[in-house]
Amino acid sequence: MDNLIAVSSWSLHRTIGVSYPDSPLTGPQGESKHSESQLPLLELPKALQSHGYSAMQLCHFHLPSRDAVFASDFRSALREANVELLTVLIDEGDITDPETGTKSAEWIAGWVRTASQLGASRARVIAGKQSYSAETMDLAVIRLKEIAETAREVGVQLETENWFSLLSTPVAVNEILDRMEGELRLCADFGNWPRPEIYETLPLIMSRAETCHAKFEFLNAADLDEPHAAACLKIAIEADYKGPFVLVNGGRGDSEWKAMDIQRRRIRA
């Protein structure tokens, strides 16, 4: 397979060492430390380049600052390392919550603007955390279209993922993509749906995916769950998937870089 192999900042969560939690309900919560050795975000593009990667996704909570100066510095770091920022992953907010959904939609729209400022071509959002119903889906579509207006304004492609309760089935995923009429694209994730059902459900959405979280599981520090990896990659091949595979799992060992190398070799094989 010759698909681009990219890296999610989540796969380097321990290497980065700190996060900056932010959500629509609490707002920014300051720094949260995860390890003693910390890789500053501005140094991440160069580190990715040195390990042979040319594209990345960024979790919103790994961004230490949303000001214009930092955004400019980050874009410069990406450019100097020849690394592309594919997507900002906006990992909080529930636009289908009946009480806080409006606040979440406004917060997510703000992060879509930040994604543009950082130079990302895409922003991945959560379609909804509430259980599927006709009413909940209607609400999700209304609010996603509001967010999509901001995405169009700033030149960012909006996408979602087969994640959380609302999009827990292929029927729901396909419905929301259809109803959004091209304004919402799909990031397919190998690990979000339960096994063994995923081997029957993932093929029903994989042909619509434009990005993919290649979320493999490790049995130990050196070995992947090979049957799961093989089954998911087979589904991608049969769907003629041409987009990037994004490495998400930092593994079980001391080195997240080694874990990603194991996964990269498996995809290329």
Domain ranges of the chain: 5-268
Tokens describing residue 97:
């919550």
The b/e string for 192-204 (b: 16+ C-beta within 10 A; e otherwise) is bbeeeebeebbee
User: Tell me: the pLDDT tens digits for 178-219?
Assistant: 999 999 999 999 999 999 999 999 999 999 999 999 999 999
Phi and psi (nearest 5°) for 172?
A: -65, -40
pLDDT recorded at residue 2: 74
Tens of pLDDT, residue by residue over 63-92, are: 999 999 999 999 999 999 999 999 999 999
Measure the CA dihedral 158/161/164/166, to 10°.
Answer: 70
Q: Encoding tokens for residue 267?
A: 């995809």
We find that the CATH architecture of domain 5-268 is Alpha-Beta Barrel (3.20)
What lies within 8 Å, CB to CB, of 264 at 6+ separation is 5, 247
| Number of residues that this document lists for the chain | 269
State pLDDT tens for residues 16-60. Answer: 999 999 999 999 999 999 888 799 999 999 999 999 999 999 999
